[in-house]
Chains A and B, each alone.
Chain A
Amino acid sequence: MAVAVATAAALGLAGCGSDSGSGSGGDGENVSLELLVPIYGDKTKPYWEQLVKDFEAENSNIDVKLETQSWDDIYNVMTTKMQNNKPPDILELDAAGPAYATDGALYKAEEIVSPETYEDIEPAFIDSAKIDGQAYGVPTVASTRALFYNKTLFEQAGITAPPKTWDELLDASKKISALGGGVYGYGMPLGSEEAQAETSIWAYGNGASWEKDGKMTIDTPEAKEALTFMKKMIDEGATQPNPGATDRTPLLDVFIQGKIGMIEGLPPIVGQINEKAPDLDWAIAPSPTKDGEPVTLGVADYFVGFNKDEDKQESIAKFLDFFYQQDNYVKFNDNEGFIPATKSGAEAAAAKPELKTFLESLPDAKFYPATNPAWGQTSGAFKSDVGQIETKSVDEVLKSIQAKADVEG
């Protein structure tokens, strides 16, 4: 309702032509679009700079103001922008982007791309970030997690196949840890960097869900069983020392150095390993779960368009359609090493063998309940507290996370 009224108001305003710059009238009106995107890697910024340039060359009346921010900073930048009531026109973010719809600030997903583009996007990804059945985010990249394992260490420890269940994982990890010499079986990063991901892989692997009926459900029997098993992995020496304070990125470097048997990773890691350690003998297997039932953590990022009562909707759609054009979009995913979220893009990606395990796990991917406004603080609570399972009881840790998730925001 609020959105409808706002749109009507926007149309009314545009009718008066109040905020046109040079006033050439009609389609030729000059529009400026603020675009805020996160930086995935070294290639992100040059990519967007080039894309904006190409787009402006075709659409001389649209001026795109590009702003790039690191993943560390982008949330704070957005908070400040919201506080000052100056959101960008287009924002790329994880599911925290679509969550801005609860403040009534966003265009609907189908309003910011053409119907053809909307049709081409994998419905599962659009569904992953719906709020009350309405999509606000258009997926840009997608990824799932899978188990990276070191084949050399597997051979030395006499393990023939990658583990499918938790028990097999524990067994294999202990065998590799027993090799000694600073080598550890399973890399478990529960430091503040991305503890929510590692925890979710385990909890989802036991059928847990972080949300039910709009409420955060952290302290559940399923999650408790998962965290208890994680604690068992730590206590029995199957993991690297001090998992509670180990961040993901430095630990991946240790895997790349060949001192960790197994670790959960994302598609872009493939490129990193190939670049940094071409000699490493490794492979990818689906994430182990409690009973071997295939499920893993899926993550997608989205474009959202902010409705600021200005007549920019058409320009936003023009820009996003340009982004989703086959060439531009495939290049974006190639750069970042992610899985494309469009049907046409997925066909192009299927040709790459290293993405096979990830593509296959897509149907079983379970997403964060990130459109729930409370997810931000819940994810934050995981980051700051879940590592404590190393020293505290699982009950205590789950209760403290649940309490932080329940705070009214």
Chain B
Amino acid sequence: MQALPWLLPALVLIVGVVIFPAGYMVYTSFRDLSRFGKDRGWAGFENYVRVFGLDPLPTVLTNTVVWTVGTVVVTVLLSLVLAQFLNKKFPGRKVLRMVIIVPWAASVVMTSTVFVYGLDPFYGIINKFLVDVGIIDEPYGFLKNATSGFLSAMAVAVFVSVPFTTFVVLAGLQTIPHDVLEAASIDGAGKVQTYWSVVFPMLRPALAVAAIINIINVFNSLPILKTMTGAIPGNDADTTTTFMFKLIQNDRQIDTASALSVVNFVVIIVVIGVYLKVVKPMREVNA
């Protein structure tokens, strides 16, 4: 109790920034809101019933899994390779390290918009390039159908997630003491064996942080899909996040969208819980 005055600022911050908004979201999901935003009273579980009755929901949930797992796995794999490379000494390493930050530093909407223009079949520079080098015969509308649009958006999601992940892994690599690596080589471990038995286990905490932050980020990502696949009709290229957005903007169902966002919130908490439980990424390394 004595500590309370010292904890107060932190508590106020947590209540104000985390608990209140989350609580308000849950509260809204149990209200009956008109399409113009007027609160018409208690709705019970009606909004939730409506969410689980939405026809596109199975497609959207599948998309969300593909989107999150696909993007995070590819991002982490690429980052592991890239970080290993950046950990070597070579001329121009500093410059390269800076350059790799760019996709991360740039606004996601801007990056996605650049790709939207680049992939346009009429005047897109990427399309023109692919035609000129002969990979495709004529310009292709990459963002004009759900499958290729969704995959293109995933590629951009990987592109913007790689820098941060690489730097987290790179930081992890730099915490590995040199004598451990030396000991491994004295014991006769080859390069592959050293990596999988010594380096990789010691990267666990860094990978845990990178994976969790990426899962949350990618799962909740709206701008990439909104910018790149927003024009595609139907819900075949929607994740729960973009679907929620369409429920508000196109269908004007604020209350249904609130219920869906609570479901979204629960899903992400469960996913992270399972990840922590099964992968135990925070476990101490016993060499």
Chain A residues within 8 Å of B, Cβ to Cβ: 75-76, 78-80, 82-83, 100, 103, 182, 190-193, 195, 240-242, 244-247, 250, 253-254, 257, 259, 373, 376-377, 380-381, 383-388, 390, 404, 407, 409
Contact = CB atoms under 8 A, between A and B. Distances in A.
A3 to B, nearest CB: 16
Given A76-B249, A245-B141, A377-B250, A82 B230 contact: no
Nearest to A404: B251
A257 B231 contact: no
B223 interface: no
B261 to A, nearest CB: 15
Contacts, number: 104
B93 to A, nearest CB: 41
Interface residues of B, number: 31
Contact of B231 (A83, A100, A192, A241): A192
Contacts of A75: 249
B233 A386 contact: yes
25 contacts: A82-B37, A83-B38, A191-B231, A191-B233, A192-B230, A192-B231, A192-B233, A192-B250, A240-B122, A242-B141, A244-B144, A246-B144, A247-B231, A253-B123, A259-B122, A373-B36, A376-B252, A377-B250, A380-B252, A381-B250, A383-B250, A384-B233, A384-B234, A385-B234, A388-B234
Interface of B: 33-39, 120-123, 139, 141, 143-145, 149, 230-235, 246, 248-254
Given A241-B144, A245-B141, A380-B250, A373 B233 contact: no
B36 A193 contact: no
Contacts of A245: 141, 143-145, 149, 231-233
Given A100-B36, A191-B233, A192-B231, A242 B144 contact: yes
B37 A80 contact: yes
Contacts of B39: 83
Given A100-B36, A409-B252, 8 more contacts: A76-B249, A103-B38, A241-B121, A253-B123, A259-B122, A373-B36, A384-B251, A387-B232
Contacts of A241: 121, 141, 144
B34 A388 contact: no
Given A377-B252, A380-B250, A384-B250, A190 B144 contact: no
Best-buried of B248, B250, B253 by chain A (most CB within 10 Å): B250
A76 B36 contact: no
Contacts of A253: 123
A385 B250 CA distance: 10
A182 B128 CA distance: 12
A387 B233 contact: yes
A409 B122 contact: no
A383 B230 CA distance: 10
Contacts of A247: 231
A79 B123 CA distance: 37
Nearest to B229: A245
B233 A254 contact: no
Contacts of A193: 231
Contacts of B121: 241-242
A297 B37 CA distance: 29
Contact of A381 (B120, B123, B251): B251
A380 B38 CA distance: 19
